Amino acid sequence: MGSGLNFLDLILEASLLVQLVMLGLVAMSVMSWTIIFQRKKAISDALINAKKFEQKFWSGIDLSKLYNEISSRSGQSQGIEALFTSGFKEFARHKKNTFQSASIVMEGTHRSMRVALSREIEKMESSLSFLATVGSISPYIGLFGTVWGIMNAFIALGEVKQATLQMVAPGIAEALIATAMGLFAAIPAVIAYNRFSNSVEKLESHYINFMEEFANILHRQAATQIEAQANVSA
C-alpha cells in the first residue's frame, strides 16, 4: 500500500511538463488498447463470417439465390460477402449484353471485386497506423519527460550547499516513471500492430484465393452461356 502511495506521490510532485508527458502517454495507451480490442473483434468477425459464407457458397447453392439472400439483408454486405455481391452484380450486368465475350465480362467482374477487396482491407487496416505511431514515438516521449525531470532534479540539487542521495532520488525516480509509462504504451502497441498486420495479410490472401475461385466459376458460366447462344444463332 505504501509503495502505491509513494508512486502516486512521485507523479503528483513531478513538474508540470513531466505530468503533461505522463498524461499524454496514458491517453495514448488508453486509445491504443481501445483500438486493439476493436481490431481484434473486427478481424475475428471477418474470419468467422468468411468461414460461414464459404460453407454456404460451396454447398452447391444457386449463386443467384445466394446473391438475393445477401442483398435482401438490411445494411451493406461486408467482408467476403462484399466481394461476392460486387462480383456477381457486375457479372450479371455484363452478362445481359449477349454481344460481349467471356473475357470482357470477366474483366469488369474482376475489376469490381478488386475495388471491393481494396475497400474491405482498408477497413481491416483502420487505425493500425495509430498503433504503429504509438509504438514508435511513445518511448521517445517518455525519454523526453525523463530527461526534463532529471535536468530539473540536478538544477534543484545545485541550489543547495550539501547534496545528498535522499534529495536527488525522488526527482530522478519521478522522471524515470515517464520512461516506464512510455514503454508501457509502446510495447502492447507494437505487438498488436505486428500481429494485426499479419492477420490482415492472411485475410487478404484468403479473400484473393476466393476471388480467383469465384472468377473461375463465373468464367465457366459466361463461356457456357455464350456457346449456347452461338449454337442457337447457328
Q: Encode the chain (234 residues) as per-residue pLDDT tens digits.
A: 444 447 677 777 777 888 899 899 999 999 999 999 999 999 999 999 999 999 999 998 899 999 999 988 877 889 999 999 999 998 888 777 655 677 787 888 899 999 999 999 999 998 899 999 999 999 999 999 888 888 877 777 776 666 666 666 767 777 888 899 999 999 999 999 999 999 999 999 999 999 999 999 988 887 777 666 655 555
In the 8-state DSSP scheme, what is residue 163?
-
Considering the domain boundaries, does residue 171 fall inside one? no
Enumerate helices (H) and strands (E) in the chain, giving the number of each.
Answer: 7, 0
Considering the domain boundaries, does residue 75 fall inside one? yes
Considering the domain boundaries, does residue 148 fall inside one? no
Considering the domain boundaries, does residue 196 fall inside one? yes
Considering the domain boundaries, does residue 197 fall inside one? yes
Task: Domain count for the chain, please give it.
Answer: 1
Considering the domain boundaries, does residue 223 fall inside one? yes
Q: Is the pTM of this model over 0.85?
A: no
At 156, which amino acid appears?
A
Q: How far apart are CA 195 and CA 137, in angstroms?
A: 19
Q: How far apart are CA 197 and CA 144, in angstroms?
A: 29
Considering the domain boundaries, does residue 218 fall inside one? yes
Considering the domain boundaries, does residue 72 fall inside one? yes
Q: Which domain holds residue 51?
A: 16-141+183-233
Nearest to 31 by CA among 105, 135, 151, 166: 135
CA angle centred on 150, ends 146 and 152, rounded to 5°: 120
CA angle centred on 197, ends 196 and 201, rounded to 5°: 115
